[in-house]
Amino acid sequence: QVQLVESGGGSVQAGGSLRLSCTASIGTLSPLTMAWFRQAPGKEREGVATHTPSGRTAYADSVKGRFIISRDNANNVLYLQMNSLQPEDTAMYYCAANDRWMNPSLLRTRYPYWGQGTQVAVFS
């Protein structure tokens, strides 16, 4: 069982930046495929970015060039650096993990472990 805890959300003006963190209750992140998802009110949960143990990444088109996913395996932390934030980025952001080998995927059904989320609000 993997427990995930997100932090770093908040309110920011459009054009600003935030960095989200996700801490895992596991010996090391090394074998996990990790991902960030988000869900805005009234919308489906959507994949934002993913990072495999081998370092492969994938991003949603809407965040390419603005968001960067990275991991610190030694400290069991996953990050999401979010730059040039826009009001449409407002959502609850969730960390997810899969402890089995997989290709990079932004499908939520591929991830059995989830955190409780951290809220991001971007105002214009």
The two tokens of residue 80 are 């999401």
The answer on pLDDT for 27 being more than 80 is: no
Say yes or no to pLDDT of 47 above 80: yes
Whether 26 has a pLDDT exceeding 90, the answer reads: no
pLDDT band at 46 (very low <50, low <70, confident <90, very high): very high
Q: Find all residues with CB under 8 Å of 75, minimum gap 6, and list them.
A: none
Task: List pLDDT tens digits, range 53-77.
Answer: 999 999 999 999 999 999 998 889 9
